[in-house]
Amino acid sequence: MGLFSKIKEGLKKTRDKMSSSVETMLHSFTSIDESLFEELEELLVMGDVGVSTAEHICDALRKKVKEKGVTDPEAIYGMLRETVAEMLRGGEELNISTKPSVILVIGVNGVGKTTTIGKIASRLKGEGKKVVLGAADTFRAAAVEQLEVWAQRSGAELVKQPEGSDPASVVYDAVAAAKARGADVVICDTAGRLHNKKNLMDELSKIGRVIDRELPDADKEVLLVLDATTGQNAVNQAREFQNAAGITGIVLTKLDGTARGGVVLAIRENLGIPVKFIGVGEKVDDLQPFNADEFAEALFARENQE
């Protein structure tokens, strides 16, 4: 299966719910008027795009229709695809040009955080990079063992301490190992839950300070892993973590299992955080670097389009 086909297949549920409904709705109109935009806005909201983002999209479309003198309602479909791509474009690439660079991976338990780390490590190893993994999720039973399995699969080196150890201490050791061994990238797992939210956010801030102190000039990505199946709740999670950790990018997992893929737009529009990766399946290569144009193309693809 080609790359576009893989993303297209991964977005099938979202496309069936949102894009197909939009296409059917446009077929029912003979002219472009305000009632068309009202109905379009409603369908976008139902597709988990969010109210403010749906309004923004429709405003952009009204402007394009006026500028181009468009009269055919079906032309809106292609313009919608263009508008979505424009909104999502920019900042998708990982910024890891220093040696070593740091990727701090955060997110609540159950979103696929550790699996995401393993898949990113595999991708970077495939690009010829030397990778060190820091097992700083020391509070969740089996988290270290799970990351150990991924380290073995990907060929990355693992730095760990006993369960219950100070996560910031593990990060310190991982950074020291990366420097000593000439690694290109150190990827740190973090706790998804402590006994209260303040403790979790304080822990993330502490880890951030350790990295800034030990590698002040290094490129640092703070990736928040979100489960697409949670829809608008993912936006709320992103907002909370953004306040504590200064997120540089989003990894949106489980897109293939939900019709709520429109939440990508809500996150970008409301928080201004770029999406770096999307998960469209269980396999290692099903975690794909995000490409705004391909995403929009796949989201609004017709069934015979390859």
Separation between Cα atoms, residue 16 and residue 199, nearest integer Å: 41
Q: What are phi and psi of 101, to 5 degrees?
A: -105, 160
* Residue 47 assigned as binding residue: no
- Residue 193 in marked binding region: yes
Strand ranges, E, within 107-248? 131-135, 157-159, 185-189, 220-227
> What distance in Å separates the CA atoms of residue 103 and residue 124, rounded to the nearest whole number?
12
From residue 256, alpha-carbon distances to 55, 103, 236, 306 in Å are 26, 25, 21, 17
Q: 170: annotated binding-site residue?
A: no
**Residue 113 marked as a ligand binder:** yes
- Minimal CA–CA distance to 157: which of 182, 138, 191, 140? 182
Q: Would the annotation count 192 as a binding residue?
A: yes
For residue 281, give the amino acid letter.
G
Residue 111 assigned ligand-binding role: yes
27 Cβ contact partners less than 8 Å away, ≥ 6 residues apart: 73, 74
Residues with Cβ within 8 Å of 216's Cβ and at least 6 positions away in sequence, in order, are: none
Say if residue 243 carries a ligand binding annotation: no
The arrangement of strands across the sheet holding 287-289 comes to 157-159, 131-135, 185-189, 101-106, 220-227, 249-253, 275-279, 287-289
Residue 118 marked as a ligand binder = no
Does 109 show up as a binding residue in the annotation? yes
To the question of whether residue 114 is assigned a binding role by annotation, the answer is yes
**Residue 71 annotated as binding site:** no
Beta-sheet pairing, 287-289 with 275-279: antiparallel
Q: Is 285 marked as binding a ligand?
A: no
Detail the residues annotated as belonging to a binding site.
107-114, 189-193, 253-256
Annotated binding-site residues for GTP read 107-114, 189-193, 253-256
